[in-house]
Amino acid sequence: MRTSSVAPPLVELGRLVGWDPPPLSVRDARRQAVSLRARLAPLTPPTLGQSPGPKAVGEQLAAARKLSVAYGRLSALDGVDLSLFPGEVLVLMGRNGSGKSTLLSALAGGRRPSRGTVKVDGEDPRSFRGAELIRHVGLVPQDPGLLLYGESVHGECRTSDRASGLQEGSTAQALERILPGVPGDRHPRDLSEGQRLALALAIVLAPAPSLVLLDEPTKGLDYPSKDRLIAVLPELAGHGHAVVVATHDVELAARVGDRAVVLADGQVIADGPARQVVCHSPVFAPQVAKVLAPEEWLTVDEVRGALAGTVPA
């Protein structure tokens, strides 16, 4: 069971082990962590990601094969092979311009391949139309406001129900599960970043698409809002969705990823268990991993569980 985080990982780790004052940098934390690393040395970090769902079992839900996408003469994706399975949270990482958003767009049917193929539930996502598409794949863009057009939260939910062919109240119920208490009479532009994201997620999730895609979902979120999102994503995987999260947020990747794929210059340069990919990346390792290297500890919750004798599975 996760413990809610309300502070940056270094501060939270410092509080856990009694460092006073808490470290302000990874370098400071490594100096203070000598005894902590000794305590953790005989213990074994978890070997899988944190999602409670099945880990890439059964038939693949979606796939890209030799996928290339170009913008004029600029190549955004170059021969990408990727398989997505129900029950996993895949974190898609890479520097700006590496092709993450283009890959999400291609999976959602919004970008035509210049070469190769994309399949979702066995079909080209560009062949789906209207309400049919949103039952197969849902994309939350970097700016969730792009999905919001109504004058109120209630209005957005009702419009979404009609557009998706859902029973009235379905989107509102999804929103209440994701984030209870969002004011129904509030204009979407007057919501917090976390509330806007929750509303966009509800619109995308209410039709129960097989494939859920999120592009930089923690951008602009405070720590409590990020924690709520971190609780939602494994639940989606646990219900059989395939979840792909494109992110620069290494702490998010560490806490929710079952699998990590790293893109560079439009190509896949790493694809494997999130713990291995993230821990051994000089660019994408989270703070806890840098402090406790070479052992593969990713999050404060894992350290807390280990010290209490209950390492999360």
> Each residue of 37-66: pLDDT tens digit?
999 999 988 765 444 344 445 578 999 999
How many structural domains compose the chain?
A: 2
pLDDT tops 70 at residue 285: yes
Same domain, 245 and 272: yes
Same domain, 102 and 240: yes
> Each residue of 72-105: pLDDT tens digit?
889 999 999 999 999 999 999 999 999 999 999 9
Domain that holds residue 268: 1-136+209-313
Rounded percentage of the chain residues whose pLDDT exceeds 70: 93
pLDDT at 105: 96
Judge whether 156 lies within some domain.
Answer: yes
pLDDT at 311: 52
Judge whether 221 lies within some domain.
Answer: yes
Highest mean pLDDT among 214-218, 224-228, 232-236: 214-218
Q: Which of 205, 221, 240 is the last residue of a domain?
A: 205
> Each residue of 196-205: pLDDT tens digit?
999 999 999 9
Q: pTM value?
A: 0.85
Same domain, 218 and 178: no
How many Cβ atoms from other residues are within 10 Å of residue 291's Cβ? 25
Q: Please measure the distance between the N-terminal and C-terminal CA atoms of the chain and give it in whole angstroms.
A: 9
Judge whether 143 lies within some domain.
Answer: no
The rounded mean pLDDT for the chain is 89
Mean pLDDT of the region 279-303? 88
Same domain, 126 and 227: yes
Q: Which of 158, 178, 205 is the last residue of a domain?
A: 205
Q: Which of 188, 205, 222 is the last residue of a domain?
A: 205
